[in-house]
Amino acid sequence: MKKAVVTPGEVVAYAEEFETKGAVYNTGYEYRAATLGIAAYDPKTHTAVVKPTRKPPIPQPGTVVYCQVTSKGRRAYQLRCFAVEEGRSLADMKYTITGVLPHFFSDGELGIGDYIRAKVVSTYGPPIIVSIRGPTYGAVLSRCPKCGTVLKRRGMTLYCPNCSTEVKRKLAVGYYTG
């Protein structure tokens, strides 16, 4: 297997020689590198794979992100995304990214200030579009809308131990119990 460093726009392979995967784009009969990366050529299977040297600055579709709800509109929630889930740990993003959670991608209600676990659906932005459909996605930490105390879970609802307010939220399986 032969490897080479490629720069954006550099010819990686020709269409009649290799099939390509990874960070490449097609310009007629030749494939060019889309990012700075390492090209690995396999002459037996006639494939060329370009792996970028850096992670993309915006989380890709399917990535799990943690966001805070900043506002609620008629059609969508506005979010501020600040962390990405990598394996079993969280990694802070270098910059916070704005996000949008349309109401048709949420199975329940959220409140302003809630911290949520969501999956990236589309990255034609920023803002990125996320979804909280599924049992592992939803609110992971919420505060009382009246007094600001962290809400505790009681069944499928949340209650405030300070002022006894009950609210309904779309909860993730790993909701913080305090």
What pLDDT digit, counting tens, does each position of 55-107 carry?
777 888 899 999 999 999 899 999 999 999 988 888 888 888 999 999 989 88
Query: Contact 137/116 with Cβ under 8 angstroms?
Result: yes
Give every residue of the chain whose pLDDT is below 50, as ranges.
Answer: none
Tokens 């020689």 identify what position? 17
pTM, entire model = 0.73
Residue 67 marked in a binding site: no
CA-closest candidate to residue 131, choices 142, 120, 122:
120
State yes or no: 81 annotated in a binding site: no
- Strands across the sheet containing 2-6: 2-6, 37-42, 47-52, 19-22
Tokens linked to 104: 């048709």
Distance, CA of 96 to CA of 67 (rounded, Å): 9
Query: Across the beta sheet with 24-27, what order do the strands follow?
Result: 11-14, 30-33, 24-27
Q: 22, 6 in Cβ contact below 8 A?
A: no
C-alpha of 130 from chain center: 7
Residue 63 in tokens: 């990535």
Token digits for 178?
């305090």
The tokens describing 28, both together, are 């007629």
Q: Looking at residue 121, what is its pLDDT?
A: 94
Domains of the chain plus CATH, in order, are: 2-52 (2.40.50.100), 63-167 (2.40.50.140)
* Residue 16 CB coordination number (10 Å): 8
Give the model's pLDDT for residue 130: 94
Say how far apart CA 31 and CA 52 lie, in whole Å.
15
pLDDT at 115: 93
